[in-house]
Structure 1
Amino acid sequence: MSHDTLTPTSVFLIAGLGNPGPRYDGTRHNVGFRVVDRLAQRFSIPMQERKFPAHWGEGRIGGRKVVLVKPMTYMNRSGEAVGPILRYYRLPPEALLVVHDDLDLPLGRIRIARRGGTGGHRGVASIIQTLGGGEFARLKLGIGRPRYGESVEAFVLDGFYSDELEAAEEMVDRAAAAALAVLADGLEAAMNRFNQRRKSTDQQADQPGD
């Protein structure tokens, strides 16, 4: 399998974004945390909180050294955790995959991107500011838009609607699989596989609420 679309470094860092504390467990803004938790559990990677303002750990996935990171700085200061860990491992931004929620994707859809701007996401903006640019890959998880006139801030900091819970869980599983595909096959192959529109999920996500 070719890794020519990834940095040739021997270590890869996956940072899932979210807010710390039980108040934010299960919220839309914390789906990045859930993906990292899924990977840590599956591959028995121990997570710790020391040296950096993050819940993080290192292990091996598919024969490759991987560092999993959940910033404990709150979303809009995510770069304060991700930047120091990248520097500690002497990694370039190209060795980073940031996993985060995306309002512009329907619930259930995921999208991998090589690089880009903030997309209006404060956690991504903080990482770009810290690293001095957006030359890192992103794994975006669709959370859709408010149904009932909620503000965007209230929407992302709330849990999924009851009829969205199953789709959200499936999306987290699919995103974890996408992260593994990036590691195993490279960005290009993972993008070709996971960026395809899933009609059944999208049609369901586009249905109005009761």
Structure 2
Amino acid sequence: MLSGVFSKLGLPLGTKVYSRQFSLPASSVVIASIGNPSPQYDGTRHSVGHWVLDEVKEKYWKDFSRFSGASGVEIATSETNPNVLLAKSIKSYMNLQGKPISKFWQKHKKDARLVIVHDELQIPLGKVQIRRRNTSARGHNGLRSIDNSMGNDYTKIAIGIGKPAAKHDLVSDYVLSKFTKNEMDVLREVTIPRVAQILEEMSQGKHINERYEK
């Protein structure tokens, strides 16, 4: 009987399915990555947030379900870590992330803090920066779209991708290009362990309540 249900849903037998009424316990954290649509932009610098979240889930948080969802934001949950919700906004382009993220956040903001994982030109490859709530978008189009839709009361995890080697290279071409093999090695060996450490700390309530005070 179950196999028939999963077959109709287009899911393998054993996949965890969560209802639309899924809710988080109080004092939870939602960790959401932004980028360009998947799969056509997978592996590009602008979508590194999606890849990083996937890698952390597969290597460090293996108890989380596979990402799934009918809307533009897919989620992954854990029965052993119910106060953390992982999310990926993979249907919209980066400069239009405000609408799907704000719509998704409306369902969870009462009981949770939001963390956005994104690429960052201003930080060298291999570096990761935690940015407090109420900080600026730094010209990042995805963050700017979110800020315009719902404000900037969320924490950021900025994943360093560095800048184009030549000053005359277009930033738009650079962020849509794919990482080299050597760059991927840096991400796997340096960035992923650091992000995993940060997310573990955030799951325990660290960093997510800090605000930027002007």
For the residue of structure 1 that corresponds to 2:69, the secondary structure is coil
User: Does 1:55 find its partner at 2:74?
Assistant: yes
For the residue of structure 1 that corresponds to 2:174, the secondary structure is helix
Contact 2:132 2:155 in 1 (8 A): yes
Map of 1:118 onto structure 2: 137
Distance in 2 of aligned mates of 1:36 and 1:30: 10
Consecutive unaligned residues in structure 2, runs of 5 or more:
1-24
For the residue of structure 1 that corresponds to 2:77, the secondary structure is strand
Q: Deviations over 1:119-151 (max 9, x none)?
A: 1111111111111x2111000011111014421
Contact 1:15 1:68 in 2 (8 A): yes
Q: TM-score normalised to the size of structure 1?
A: 0.76
Superposed counterparts of 1:96-107, under 5 Å: 96-107=114-125
For the residue of structure 1 that corresponds to 2:74, the secondary structure is strand
Distance in 2 of aligned mates of 1:83 and 1:36: 19
Map of 1:43 onto structure 2: 63
Q: TM-score normalised to the size of structure 2?
A: 0.74
Identify if the C-alpha distance between structure 1 residues 84 and 160 changes in structure 2 by more than 3 Å, giving closer, same or farther: same
Q: Deviations over 1:43-101 (max 9, x none)?
A: 33232121x3122233356x442221111211111122211222112437x71000011
- Normalized per residue, the structure richer in helix is 1
CA RMSD of aligned residues (A): 2.4
User: Does 1:178 find its partner at 2:198?
Assistant: yes
Identify if the C-alpha distance between structure 1 residues 75 and 181 changes in structure 2 by more than 3 Å, giving closer, same or farther: same
Map of 1:199 onto structure 2: none
Higher-Rg structure is 2
Map of 1:21 onto structure 2: 38
Map of 2:153 onto structure 1: 135
Consecutive unaligned residues in structure 1, runs of 5 or more:
1-7, 191-210
Amino acid at match of 1:178: I
Amino acid at match of 1:26: G
User: Does 1:81 find its partner at 2:66?
Assistant: no
Provide the identity percentage.
30
Q: Aligned residue pairs: how many?
A: 179
Q: Deviations over 1:127-177 (max 9, x none)?
A: 11111x211100001111101442101111111234322112231332132
Contact 2:113 2:208 in 1 (8 A): no
